[in-house]
Amino acid sequence: MKATYQKYLLNFKQPSGTSRGILKTKETWFIILSSQGKKGIGECGILRGLSIDDRPDYEMQLKYTCENIDKGLNFLLKENIEFPSIQIGLEMAFMSFDAKDNFELFPSKFTKNQASIPINGLIWMGTEAFMKQQIQDKIEAGFKCIKLKIGAIDFETELGLLKNIRTHFSESDIELRVDANGAFSPDNALEKLKRLRDYKLHSIEQPIKAGQFDEMKKLCELTPLPIALDEELIGVFSTEKKIELLQTIKPQYIILKPSFIGGFAGTDEWIALAEKQNINWWITSALESNIGLSAIAQYTYLKNNKMPQGLGTGGLFANNFKSPLQVKNGTLYYSINHWNFNL
């Protein structure tokens, strides 16, 4: 078997704002396996500035991985324990190689276009007018769950946006989630959570920066609305550390980005550990191309989690690969199996 890797730069249709700045492009990498006319494709969904494997030796590790592909998947997953985006790329590539269809990795009613996955509509940060327009567009598109990224503009303005939604739509009409991406400080987080409570939110993701265990534990004890850990899970490699994190902080939810937490095997482990402690969860993509997004969506469907998942990012890029993924009425479908994967 031969393995090669290649970089691909995804271009946002319009710059997308987060609390860490404006995103215009998104780098991704592909591992391609080939042997006797068969092929396998896997996406290594790294996100610079956030992924734990955003390291100077990333490409060197990809090269090493491809040069040692004959040592097999299990060996290479262990060798890439600190490179979760390469782990998921490997899992996808080997599954793709073995599959009848390179892109149908987890056959199900979803891939047969007999079922869909409810997803949240994502509202990117920007001016008040820009965010209002996005909210209106998502509601008109049939989304029943909307997630707003907050923390980059004035907090009072963000509260005003939430108030405006709740003026027109009740809790039963629209589920509201917010993602602070660690933007609040431990000193003012609880007060901000108390003010956010008025708008009957489903949850808030990562109110304070990751790594502040004592502060996050206290917030989860006192919070007036459910807290979901996101960045907190990144870089936690051992089972013991995962158990310690969940038992210490006791969050209401965890959010699982397979490209950040050890691929499908890593996600399976987080789910099992969380469910033992009655902690709920949902799965989110991390700005992968349609190759990675499709694999994560297929995997997610088989997990049978009825909550809206965070899988609606495929339409963000101008140069994404043509795929069967379609969003209709706030749900993700896998329609006619038509792919166009050209690097």
CB atoms within 10 A of CB 200: 15
Distance, CA of 242 to CA of 175 (rounded, Å): 29
Compute the residue count for the chain.
343
Q: Which of 150, 45, 118, 33 is nearest to 87 (CA)?
A: 45
Distance, CA of 165 to CA of 267 (rounded, Å): 33
Distance, CA of 237 to CA of 269 (rounded, Å): 11
Tokens of 10: 């995804």
The answer to whether 93 and 32 have CB atoms below 8 angstroms apart is: yes
Exposed, middle or buried: residue 341 (CB in 10 Å: 0-12, 13-18, 19+)?
middle
The catalytic residues are: 149, 257
C-alpha torsion angle, residues 181, 183, 185, 189 (rounded to 10): -70
Distance, CA of 291 to CA of 340 (rounded, Å): 10
Strand residue runs (E) in 182-312: 203-205, 227-229, 253-256, 280-283
Q: Beginning with the edge strand found earlier in the chain, give each strand of the sheet holding 331-334 in spatial order.
A: 117-118, 331-334, 325-328
Tokens of 178: 């917010």
